[in-house]
Amino acid sequence: MVFYSCLMMLFLMFCFKCKAAKPTVESLKNGSMITVLQHCPNCGNNAFKWSSQPLMFGKFPAGNILLSFGVLVAGASISKVLLVFKHIGMAAHVRTFFRHQNDFILPSILKYWEESHNSVINKIKSVGNVTWSGDGRFDSMGHCAKYGLYTMLCSPLDKIVHFELIQVYGWHNAYKISQA
């Protein structure tokens, strides 16, 4: 983290192009990124522009997308994270988090999963005869058994090849399904 006042002191010292004293400085915020424009009377209309982060996909600050990714994979509550940001004076919005999640993060995770899954399937095809292991599990006693997870493992490759998350509408339905 860099404090705004310290950043401005740095850019107010001298022009980064011609080294002239006391240029004027303006800043623009875009989430976790700040862009500083330094104007110098000696340099004319050629302002020096500095950004604290690179852009991803041409227009999105990398830190904003990485922040959204970090919140998602940590399993954190976006409302709690935004409350922390609000208290330290950092700009962020819940709409931005969900837009990043829908437009970039989840499609990237899905693409990686599909490529990884296809790679494992191709390895299984090249091995020939394989040993399969499977396991199904509903939630433990005393908890809601609304969802069950069934997993298939290819033992020679030691890789999970497939899993299914199924919703059960009551324990008696789960019992009937398991008896079928």
Neighbours of 100 (CB within 10 A): 22
Q: 38-73: per-residue pLDDT in tens?
A: 999 888 778 899 999 999 988 899 998 999 999 999
pLDDT at 125: 85
Residue 159 to residue 112: CA distance in whole angstroms: 15
**Is the pLDDT confidence value at 84 over 80?**
yes
**Is the pLDDT confidence value at 117 over 60?**
yes
Neighbours of 69 (CB within 10 A): 17
pLDDT at 22: 85
| Class of residue 56 by CB neighbours under 10 A (exposed 0-12, middle 13-18, buried 19+) | middle
**Is the pLDDT confidence value at 177 over 60?**
no
Token readout for 132 is 């399969």
| Per-domain boundaries in the chain | 1-52, 59-128, 131-180
Whole-model pTM: value is 0.67
pLDDT at 111: 96
pLDDT at 36: 94
Select from 110, 82, 76 the least CA-distant residue to 95: 82
Q: 128-148: per-residue pLDDT in tens?
A: 788 888 887 776 655 666 777
pLDDT at 158: 82
Cβ-contact 37, 47 below 8 angstroms: yes
Helix/strand/coil (H/E/C) assignment for every residue in the chain: CCCHHHHHHHHHHECCCCCCECCEEEEEEECCEEEEEEECCCCCCCCEEEECCCEECCCEEHHHHHHHHHHHHHCCCHHHHHHHHHHHCCCCCHHHHHHHHHHHHHHHHHHHHHHHHHHHHHHHHHHCCCCEEEEEEECCCCCCCCEEEEEEEECCCCEEEEEEEEECCCHHHHHHHHHC
pLDDT at 141: 58
